[in-house]
Amino acid sequence: MAWDDGSDDEEGSFIVAPRLSSVPFIKIYCFFDENDALDKVLRAQLVTDSEAQLIVESEEPLDPDPSCVQFVVEAVDEFGVWRALSSFQKLPSVSIQTVRLGLISGWKRIQRRKAFRVKTDLEATVSTMEIVRPTTYSGKIVDMSVAGAGVDVGRDSAHQLSGRYRLNFVLPSGSVSLVADVVSKRGNVVGFEFASVPLAQSKLLGTYVFEKQVARSKNDDDE
């Protein structure tokens, strides 16, 4: 099936479910046809969880396409990307969209990383999306790929961060400013997924990650 599209690795193979306490958001996909075609339906904030269900909410409409024949929920924690089959039931609410996702399969870790990551020690700032007087947090990027970054902002700040921010940092070849979503937390480190990457900045990221990997491979060979 399309939702089970990756192989597990041996490291941490005793883990059988995501650590949902570190997962601020859940992505929901659906099967549209008999070929298991997946399409992202929505992204919602996790409110409560149990072995049998997740309760999520969003200020945006949670209205999947009526042709969806099956739903898949996705969570990302420090061990990787997890998916499980689920039902989809909207709950009565006044001012916010709330959905019960009943888990009808076990969690499956589909891949450890969506993109290759390298270790870094880049200074960074994380700012809220307000145009006037945004709140800014200082941190250090500890690992990064062309798709996202892990930023150590300290435990107090990590506890506060959720939602969408602007991530700013400087690479040897130029400055980068990207919109990024919080997708995981592990201690002091907040995991960000880049919401969109302009072509010019994508090239900066790609070059940096590639050069770091080449340097690491050379060091490994020298040893």
- DSSP characters over 33-56: STT--EEEEEEEEEEEE-SSEEEE
Percent of the chain with pLDDT over 90: 33
Comparison of pLDDT for 196 and 115, the residue scoring more: 196
pLDDT at residue 221 tops 70: no
Question: Which range is least confidently modeled, 73-77, 117-121, 157-161, 183-187?
Answer: 73-77
- Predicted TM-score (pTM) of the model is 0.55
- CATH number of the domain located at residue range(s) 20-111 in this protein: 2.30.110.10
pLDDT band at 79 (very low <50, low <70, confident <90, very high): low
**Could you tell me if 189 and 139 are in contact, meaning their C-beta atoms sit under 8 angstroms apart?**
no
Give the domain ranges of the chain: 20-111, 118-217
Give tens-digit pLDDT for 20-30: 877 778 888 88
- CATH number of the domain located at residue range(s) 118-217 in this protein: 2.40.10.220
Tell me whether domains 20-111 and 118-217 share a fold: no
| Mean pLDDT, residues 90-113 taken together | 83
Query: How many Cα atoms within 13 Å fall on the side-chain side of residue 206?
Result: 7
